[in-house]
Each structure stands twice: as C-alpha cells, then as structure tokens.
C-alpha cells in the first residue's frame, strides 16, 4: 500500500501556502491534502505526469511535485503573469515542469498539449468556475479524453449554493473568514466595510457558478466513475472522478 501524503501537515508547508492569495479561504490546507490523498489512492507510486488547468501561481503543482518528485507537470494558464509567477515558484522543480500559455475555453486548446497527453491526473483549482455551464461541461469531457485509464480528475472549485438559505450562511461564513484574517494581520477595516466589498464582488462572480450536484451528474454522464464530492464546506468543494480502467 502506498504511504498517504504527509508533508502538507508540516507547519512550514502550511505557512508557505497560507501566504498565498488563498490565505482567507477556509480549509485551504485540507483541500490540498485531500487532492494529494486522492492522487495517491488513484495512482500510488505511478504518478508519472499531471495537468494543472488554470495553474495560477502553481500552488497545486508545487504540492504534487513535493510529494511526487518523479512526476512531470504540465501547467496551463492564459495569463502570462500567472505563468511567470508559477515559473518562479516552481524553480526547484524546473526540470519537471512545462508551461503552456493557452485559453482552455477556446476550441482547439488541446492541440497545445498534444505532446504531453495522456495524463495520470488532471487537477484544477478555482479556475473552471469562471466558465459558463456549457463550456464547463465540455471542458469536463475534454479532461476525460486527456486522462489515461484509471486517471483521476480533481477539481477544487467555488460552486453554487443549493439554496438561497445556504447561500446566506456561506456569505456570512466568508465575511467572517476575511474579517478574521484581517484582524490577525492588524488591518482596521470594519466587518461592515468588508461585507460591502464582499457583496459587490460576489454579485459579479455568481453568474458562472454551477451547483455541485449538477457538475457531478455531468461527470457521470461523460463516463467518469467514482464520482464524488470528497470535501465540502458550503460553496467550497473538492470533487471529481476517475476514467474507467
């Protein structure tokens, strides 16, 4: 049996991650820990390569490569600035990574990574949520095609609340999380100021979010198995599935 990943419980790695832009997001460490556990459960020692869609600063790839030093990562983003940051952050793994500047919402994007596919795993963090439903579902189908048999897709995503009631609990939860983080950093914004900014941004972002259950159904219809939500707190979910063997 492969050993479960352990290093994300170490305080230095947790601290490194908390400095990241996701610092105010609840359960950030647990989400990454779950991703690593799923990769180990699905691929054991055989994680040869993976794709990180919408890699941003490369935080997911960094965690995967720390745990799987023999793996190769293909990091995709349409932002040159994001890829430059990821390149810098992943300097220690420079020989194990490839960066691809492309927009995975555009038809034909898969040809940009034709050389490196198929993958043992496709991961994505807070990226697919920006695409409208029809594009998101199509992307899940493309990810299915990019996976090796038994390969796993793990999506860490902001999903839509199932009801208006849970949405209001989520809003309070997030405002408290941001307020708590600012208090610890000695910022002097009031909770009301934070709430005003939060609601202004939440309205802009809400359009593209899809409910978790709908997205899991898309995955099942596409042919994924072991589809599940592996970790969830209100609108934050880690979900995905495996391509059958």
Ligand X SMILES: C[S@@+](CC[C@H](N)C(=O)[O-])C[C@H]1O[C@@H](n2cnc3c(N)ncnc32)[C@H](O)[C@@H]1O
User: Which residues contribute to the site for ligand X (CB under 6 A)?
Assistant: 22, 54-56, 59-60, 76-79, 82, 103-105, 125-127, 130
Nearer to ligand X, 134 or 188 (CB): 134
Nearest distance from C-beta of residue 65 to ligand X, angstroms: 14
Nearest distance from C-beta of residue 32 to ligand X, angstroms: 9
Our CA angle for 75, 21, 200, nearest 5°, is 115
Nearer to ligand X, 205 or 225 (CB): 205
Nearest distance from C-beta of residue 10 to ligand X, angstroms: 20
Nearer to ligand X, 83 or 216 (CB): 83
Nearest distance from C-beta of residue 22 to ligand X, angstroms: 6
Nearer to ligand X, 56 or 241 (CB): 56
């Amino acid at each position: 049996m492969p050993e479960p990943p352990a290093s994300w419980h170490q305080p230095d790695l947790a601290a490194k991650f908390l400095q990241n832009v996701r610092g105010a997001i609840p359960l950030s460490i647990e989400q990454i820990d779950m991703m690593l556990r799923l990769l180990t459960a699905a691929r054991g020692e055989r994680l040869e390569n993976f794709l990180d869609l919408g890699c941003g600063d490369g935080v997911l790839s960094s965690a995967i490569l720390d745990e799987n030093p023999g793996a190769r990562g293909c990091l995709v983003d349409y932002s040159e600035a994001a890829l430059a940051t990821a390149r810098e952050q992943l300097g220690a793994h420079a020989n194990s990574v490839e960066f691809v500047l492309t927009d995975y919402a555009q038809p034909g994007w898969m040809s940009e990574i034709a050389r490196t596919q198929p993958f043992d795993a496709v991961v994505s963090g807070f990226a697919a949520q920006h695409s409208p439903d029809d594009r998101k579902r199509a992307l899940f189908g493309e990810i299915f095609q990019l996976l090796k048999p038994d390969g796993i897709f793990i999506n860490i995503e902001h999903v839509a609340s199932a009801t208006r009631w849970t949405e209001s609990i989520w809003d309070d939860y997030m405002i408290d999380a941001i307020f708590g983080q600012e208090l610890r950093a000695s910022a002097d914004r009031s909770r009301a100021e934070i709430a005003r900014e939060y609601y202004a941004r939440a309205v802009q972002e809400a359009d593209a979010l899809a409910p978790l259950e709908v997205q899991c159904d898309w995955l099942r219809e596409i042919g994924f198995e072991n589809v599940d939500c592996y970790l969830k707190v209100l609108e934050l979910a880690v979900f995905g599935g495996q391509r059958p063997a």
